């Protein structure tokens, strides 16, 4: 089953909630690993790497059985990446107190690097990414 990654603040949760259960939000799926308090605590770089690599392992473990949309990853190679219009993305991020544009842009760049290195398909909406998987 496909995994779609996208940066925080792109509307993943909103989109997943409208899908009627087929797609799962990684934030919810991995709540036992990555709870809402994770970012409120200080972590060393090694702790961060180990934490997100654990999530990568879980993504790999469930890749044959679950449809996942998320932004939790370290080096995981997704089936698709969604990168929305930058102006819209910046507007969405501006509405959230838990995100800052600089950190989000770092994640966007990490996703672009994964796309480039691994020839991952890029879409500009979750609907178009999902429709692609319906067609294969």
The encoded tokens of residue 28 equal 């919810």
**pLDDT tens per residue across span 65-100:** 999 999 999 999 999 999 999 999 999 999 999 999
Query: Measured between alpha carbons, how far is 133 from 136 in angstroms, rounded to an integer?
Result: 5
The encoded tokens of residue 105 equal 């842009």
Domains along the chain? 3-135 (3.40.50.300)
Is 42 a residue whose pLDDT tops 80?
A: yes
What's residue 44's pLDDT?
95
Neighbours of 49 (CB within 10 A): 13
pTM for the model: 0.93
Chain-centroid distance of CA 7 in Å reads 6
């Amino acid at each position: 089953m496909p995994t779609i990654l996208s940066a925080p603040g792109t509307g993943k949760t909103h989109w997943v909630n409208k899908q009627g259960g087929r797609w799962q939000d990684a934030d919810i799926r991995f709540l036992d690993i990555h709870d809402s308090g994770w970012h409120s605590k200080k972590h060393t770089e090694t702790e961060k790497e180990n934490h997100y690599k654990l999530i990568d392992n879980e993504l790999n473990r469930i890749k044959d059985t679950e449809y996942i949309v998320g932004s939790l990853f370290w080096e995981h190679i997704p089936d698709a990446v969604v990168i929305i219009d930058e102006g819209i993305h910046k507007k969405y991020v501006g509405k959230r107190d838990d995100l800052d544009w600089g950190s989000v842009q770092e994640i966007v760049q990490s996703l672009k690097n994964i796309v480039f290195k691994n020839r991952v398909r890029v879409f500009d909406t979750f609907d178009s990414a999902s429709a692609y998987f319906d067609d294969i």
